[in-house]
């Protein structure tokens, strides 16, 4: 007589598809929900000595939370309690457990995975995910916290280029000092540290000063810190101080976007001052300089002939002191300086910028020139390496989506968990 060497699961077990379990029976409850009875198909070992239990001590029915299978279901596990046959083991009996339902767990591992995937990959809020799966918010957060413990160890990574930037954790708060009875303004900032090669977030620290960044860097192994070649930051003296203290051999690059932003800000301030000096009021729609204020901030090489004609009209009719045109030339020269491809061209562009600033002779452009001089070494690194905080800003955008989806966060640990999981998931997709 020929017999099958491999057991074949019945149809109900195949459809339910819970590893290491088989379906004993199903029933439909009075309110239409289905109840599925299951039992384990693998042997369980004693948690203390590891000896496989074969003798049944007792049994009980345990309800288990699981993913919806063709709709919501109630899962009941016929859980056995077994004797430990090892005479020297202090544990006499133990309850069976599997990889899918570990000891002391009432939730399947695949439900944990579905909850994490819904929050991290699909970008859903934890509360919405809990309602959709018929579980509590605490279970969703527990699944996220457990998943965060399985993230790759940052100390084992070897990043070559880092990016550092800050973002606001939540809205501004005011607290009253009990000693002085004065109200203090607290801005809850957080700083993000990103691997510029992969775009993965390596760490999130409280604050935006050198203390938080420095404390995070000093925890990294010496080999890890020596492997970092370039760090891109915005013009932040606090970040630069932390890097000089803990990464003294690393080149620091300043992001060009923030420098151009400073140049645009200087031009805007000149335009506003000009309106008050000439008209004694702020700009209005009838003023050419105010009407075309966005054209003033655009790069000259991206302007059409029509846009150039509008700017010429602004300088001819609404700039009697020629200060606006001088500030615009300084702004454009800053763009040209940051676009150079070699240090020699950068030096020539810097000399031209100095000449334009002296001709302009305005506090706004002079302040911009001083900033360029203070950050000149970092600008040289930018020109040579091209390292920017672009990937950090992209991560900050994703962080804002997380914050808006969750309607804000109170617990910074839960907030950091979602950020790290989201970043790891995106990195795994883009860099498998």
For 28-38, the pLDDT digits (tens) are 887 778 899 99
- DSSP codes of every residue in 290-349: HHTHHHHHS-GGG--HHHHHHHHHHHHHS-TTSHHHHHHHHHHHHHHHHT-SSHHHHHHH
| Same domain membership, residue 399 and residue 357 | no
Nearest to 251 by CA among 162, 319, 188: 162
Q: Indicate whether 122 belongs to any domain.
A: no
Give the pLDDT confidence score for residue 432 in this predicted structure: 66
Contact 47, 94 (CB under 8 A): yes
Average pLDDT over residues 405-416: 89
Domain boundary among 84, 105, 126: 105
| Same domain membership, residue 353 and residue 308 | yes
| Same domain membership, residue 267 and residue 380 | yes
For 334-366, the pLDDT digits (tens) are 999 999 999 999 999 999 999 999 999 999 999
Distances (CA, A) of 206 to 101, 167, 201, 211, 392: 37, 10, 14, 9, 16
Percentage above 70 pLDDT, the chain: 98
The count of domains in the chain is: 3
How does strand 56-64 pair with strand 93-95? unpaired
Q: Indicate whether 419 belongs to any domain.
A: yes
| Same domain membership, residue 161 and residue 243 | yes
389-427 burial string, b = 16+ CB within 10 Å, else e? bbbbbebbebbeebbeebeebeeeebbbbbbbbbbbebb
CATH number of the domain bearing residue 250:
3.30.420.10
Residues 6+ apart with CB under 8 A from 204: 190, 191, 192, 193, 416, 419, 420
Give the pLDDT confidence score for residue 69 in this predicted structure: 85
Quick check: 379 pLDDT over 50?
Answer: yes
CA-to-CA distance for 261 and 9, rounded, in angstroms?
65
Quick check: 5 pLDDT over 50?
Answer: no
For 166-222, the pLDDT digits (tens) are 998 888 888 888 888 888 888 789 999 999 999 999 999 998 889 999 999 999 999
Q: Indicate whether 62 belongs to any domain.
A: yes
| Same domain membership, residue 237 and residue 296 | no
Q: Indicate whether 148 belongs to any domain.
A: no
Average pLDDT over residues 407-420: 90
Quick check: 429 pLDDT over 80?
Answer: no
Quick check: 7 pLDDT over 60?
Answer: no
Q: Indicate whether 188 belongs to any domain.
A: yes
Quick check: 315 pLDDT over 60?
Answer: yes
| Same domain membership, residue 347 and residue 381 | yes
Q: What angle do CA 84, 90, 92 make, to 5 degrees?
A: 35
Q: How confident is the model at residue 117 (pLDDT cuts 50, 70, 90)?
A: very high
| Segments forming the whole domain that contains residue 56 | 7-105
Residues 6+ apart with CB under 8 A from 83: 53, 55, 56, 57, 92, 93
Average pLDDT over residues 254-276: 95
Q: Indicate whether 137 belongs to any domain.
A: no
Q: At what angle do helices 109-120 and 412-430 cross, to 10 degrees?
A: 90
| Same domain membership, residue 169 and residue 286 | no
Average pLDDT over residues 309-324: 93
| Same domain membership, residue 270 and residue 250 | no
Q: Indicate whether 142 belongs to any domain.
A: no
Residues 6+ apart with CB under 8 A from 238: 208, 209, 210, 213
- DSSP codes of every residue in 208-219: SSHHHHHHHHHT
| Same domain membership, residue 225 and residue 267 | no
Distances (CA, A) of 240 to 125, 163, 311: 36, 12, 38
Q: Whole-prediction pTM value?
A: 0.84
Looking at 65-186, which runs of residues are DSSP E strands?
73-83, 93-95, 161-168, 173-176, 183-186
Give the pLDDT confidence score for residue 8 in this predicted structure: 60
| Same domain membership, residue 271 and residue 182 | no
Quick check: 113 pLDDT over 90?
Answer: yes
Q: Indicate whether 145 belongs to any domain.
A: no
Helix, strand or coil for residue 194? strand
| Same domain membership, residue 368 and residue 424 | no
Nearest to 194 by CA among 412, 418, 393: 393
Helix, strand or coil for residue 123? coil
Q: How confident is the model at residue 430 (pLDDT cuts 50, 70, 90)?
A: confident
CA-to-CA distance for 48 and 312, rounded, in angstroms?
85
| Same domain membership, residue 297 and residue 215 | no
Quick check: 3 pLDDT over 80?
Answer: no
Percentage above 90 pLDDT, the chain: 73
Distances (CA, A) of 121 to 72, 113, 419, 429: 22, 11, 12, 10
């Amino acid at each position: 007589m020929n017999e099958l060497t491999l057991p074949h699961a019945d149809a109900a077990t195949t459809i339910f598809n819970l590893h290491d379990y088989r379906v004993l029976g199903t029933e439909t409850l009075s309110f239409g929900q289905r109840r599925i009875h299951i039992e384990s198909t693998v042997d369980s070992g004693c948690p203390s000595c590891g000896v496989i239990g074969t003798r049944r001590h007792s049994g009980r029915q345990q309800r288990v939370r699981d993913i919806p299978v063709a709709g919501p279901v109630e899962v009941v596990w016929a859980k056995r309690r077994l004797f430990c046959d090892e005479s020297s083991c202090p544990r006499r009996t133990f309850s069976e457990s599997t990889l899918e339902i570990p000891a002391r767990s009432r939730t399947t591992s695949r439900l944990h995975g579905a909850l994490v995937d819904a929050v991290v990959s699909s970008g859903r809020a934890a509360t919405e995910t809990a309602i959709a799966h018929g579980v509590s918010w605490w279970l969703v957060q527990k699944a996220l916290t457990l998943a965060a413990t399985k993230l790759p160890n940052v100390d084992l990574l070897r990043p070559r280029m880092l990016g550092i930037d800050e973002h606001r954790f939540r809205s501004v708060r005011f607290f009253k000092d009990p000693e002085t009875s004065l109200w203090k303004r607290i801005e809850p900032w957080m700083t993000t540290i990103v691997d510029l090669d992969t775009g993965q977030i390596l760490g999130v620290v409280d604050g935006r000063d050198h203390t938080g960044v420095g404390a995070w860097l000093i925890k990294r192994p010496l080999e890890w810190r020596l492997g970092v070649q370039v760090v891109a930051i915005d013009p932040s003296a606090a970040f630069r101080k932390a890097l000089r203290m803990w990464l003294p051999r690393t080149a620091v690059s300043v992001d060009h976007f923030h420098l151009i932003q400073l140049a645009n800000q200087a031009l805007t301030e000149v335009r506003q001052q000009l309106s008050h000096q000439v008209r004694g009021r702020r700009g209005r729609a009838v003023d050419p300089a105010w009407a075309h204020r966005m054209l003033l901030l655009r790069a000259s090489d991206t302007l059409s002939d029509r846009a150039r004609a509008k700017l010429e009209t602004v300088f001819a009719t609404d700039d009697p002191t020629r200060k606006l045109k001088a500030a615009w030339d300084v702004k454009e020269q800053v763009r040209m300086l940051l676009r150079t491809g070699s240090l020699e061209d950068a030096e020539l562009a810097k000399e031209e910028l100095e000449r334009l600033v002296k001709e302009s002779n305005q506090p706004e452009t002079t302040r911009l020139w001083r900033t360029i001089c203070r950050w000149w070494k970092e600008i040289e690194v930018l020109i040579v390496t091209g390292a920017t905080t672009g990937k950090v800003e992209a991560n900050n955008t994703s962080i804002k989506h997380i914050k808006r989806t969750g309607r804000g966060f109170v617990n910074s640990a839960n907030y950091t968990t979602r950020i790290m999981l989201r970043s790891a998931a995106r990195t795994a997709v883009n860099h498998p």
